Amino acid sequence: MKIGITCYPTYGGSGVIATELGKALADRDHQVHFISYGIPMRLTQLKENIFYHEVEISNYPLFEFPLYDLALTSKMVEVCKYEKLDILHVHYAIPHSISAMLAQQIINNNGEKLKFTTTLHGTDITLVGLEPSFLPLVKYSIERSDGVTAVSQFLKDKTLIHYKIKKEIDVIPNFVDTEMYRPKEDCVFKSHFAPKGEKVLVHISNFRPVKRVPDVIRIFNEVNKKIPTKLILAGDGPDRSECERLSRELGLKEDVYFLGKQEAVVDILNASDLFIMPSQSESFGLSALEAMACGLPTVTTSIGGLPELVVHSETGFIAEIGDISRMARYAIDLLTNESKYKQFSSKARERAVKCFNLDKIVKMYEDHYQKVLNV
């Protein structure tokens, strides 16, 4: 099968999943064509049946802003026509599904046939898509998609309710390569972050306000008062400066590591003991899944798709948004009870392997493609 994939190539969950999906499909002998303005961050190795097509944006004095959505449409038409793609898979509704819809109309108007499917990842529906200026476009592009998937039941329900559409949406959760993301007993980085054997908390995100990264520091502050701990913060974004200021204000500067954007996620997780995700909106929680695959229990909020991922009192703990004291108590409970920690760690890894492993989820996407093509 020849599959076109369009995603944001940046450091974010939708782009990571789209890229890992493309790589996995290529390993299954599909031909994959990425169409985007940049090479996806996770596309770091050459594969004979993966191709990249850059969307070139022309700047004319007449236009005040770059016309990316139209340039993307043109590139989609070109790739679909000359590479004879079977299906176009776009990740994140804005503007990808709209560009795909226009590309389909152009191609089909010329007597050829193109089908496209849209994967909804979260903020394209729960935040951006609900802007009054975007809502009609997003609603129409979803309705016109030949197939639609959502990364959680929560996101599917939100889409159907907010957009008032009658559209079949397949829930296909995010996945993790459990052969790559796995516990490593001999992690050499652990002693670097915790030279005196301290316990290590970790958070990985894009540091947007919705991730509530300052709450991570406040949780860590409470835990650090009870037991010797260190905190790793990986990623970058608009809230990083505020988080650095807060860590200095609380006297934690020597105990908090700001690593910035990192590709060595497996090493970071294996140097840690507990994953913290206090988000106020999370349609799935890919970083938490990657942590679970590495055997880390998680402490998260009870929002969005997180309760579909984390089993409370089994693979981690779930608390209400902003309940810093409770999340800190959960963290202290796990980090001071070795037998309980080992049980949670084992269950976290087991759930990741059983429910969210790469082979299982990629097969669901292959079945979805066949269903869309057969309609």
Q: What percent of the chain has pLDDT over 70?
A: 97
Q: What is the pLDDT of residue 93?
A: 85
Tell me the whole-structure pTM to 2 decimals: 0.90
Residue 339 banded pLDDT, cuts 50, 70, 90: very high
Point out the least confidently predicted range of 7-16, 126-135, 169-178. 126-135
Average pLDDT over residues 89-112: 91
Nearest to 91 by CA among 159, 145, 15: 15
pLDDT digits (tens, 9 = 90+) for 121-137: 887 776 665 567 778 88
Q: What is the pLDDT of residue 130?
A: 59
pLDDT digits (tens, 9 = 90+) for 216-229: 999 999 999 999 99
Q: Are 250 and 274 in contact (CB under 8 A)?
A: no
Average pLDDT over residues 25-49: 89
Q: Which part of the chain has CATH 3.40.50.2000?
A: 2-175+357-374, 190-356
Q: What is the pLDDT of residue 166?
A: 84
Judged against a pLDDT cut of 70, whether residue 60 lies above it is answered with no
Distance, CA of 245 to CA of 236 (rounded, Å): 14
Range among 12-21, 37-46, 122-131 with highest mean pLDDT value: 12-21
Q: What is the pLDDT of residue 100?
A: 96
Burial 293-312, CB ≥16 within 10 A → b, else e: bbbbbbbbbebbbbbbbbbe
pLDDT digits (tens, 9 = 90+) for 139-164: 898 999 999 999 999 999 999 988 88
Q: Angle at Cα 42 formed by Cα 207 and Cα 256, nearest 5°?
A: 35
- Written as six digits, the tokens of 11 are 């450091």
Average pLDDT over residues 68-82: 93
pLDDT digits (tens, 9 = 90+) for 260-282: 988 889 999 999 999 999 999 89
Q: What is the pLDDT of residue 63?
A: 63
Q: What is the pLDDT of residue 291?
A: 98
CB neighbours (10 Å) of residue 223? 25
E strands, the chain, are 2-6, 31-36, 50-54, 87-91, 115-120, 147-150, 170-171, 199-204, 229-234, 256-260, 274-277, 298-301, 316-319
Q: What is the pLDDT of residue 347?
A: 98
Q: What is the pLDDT of residue 64?
A: 64
Q: Exposed/middle/buried for 87, CB within 10 Å: 0-12, 13-18, 19+?
A: buried
Q: What is the mean pLDDT of the chain?
A: 92
Taking the domain 190-356, which CATH number applies?
3.40.50.2000
Judged against a pLDDT cut of 60, whether residue 215 lies above it is answered with yes
Average pLDDT over residues 180-191: 86
CB neighbours (10 Å) of residue 2? 17
CB neighbours (10 Å) of residue 202? 27
- Written as six digits, the tokens of 51 are 């191709």
Q: Are 326 and 319 in contact (CB under 8 A)?
A: yes
Q: Angle at Cα 269 formed by Cα 268 and Cα 273, nearest 5°?
A: 120
Distance, CA of 266 to CA of 79 (rounded, Å): 34
Distance, CA of 371 to CA of 145 (rounded, Å): 13
User: What is the amino acid identity at position 169?
Assistant: I
Q: What is the pLDDT of residue 127?
A: 65
Residue 375 banded pLDDT, cuts 50, 70, 90: confident
Q: In what order do the strands lie in the sheet with 115-120?
A: 50-54, 31-36, 2-6, 87-91, 115-120, 147-150, 170-171
Provide the CATH topology of domain 2-175+357-374.
Answer: Rossmann fold (3.40.50)
Judged against a pLDDT cut of 80, whether residue 42 lies above it is answered with no
pLDDT digits (tens, 9 = 90+) for 239-248: 999 999 999 9
Q: What percent of the chain has pLDDT over 90?
A: 75
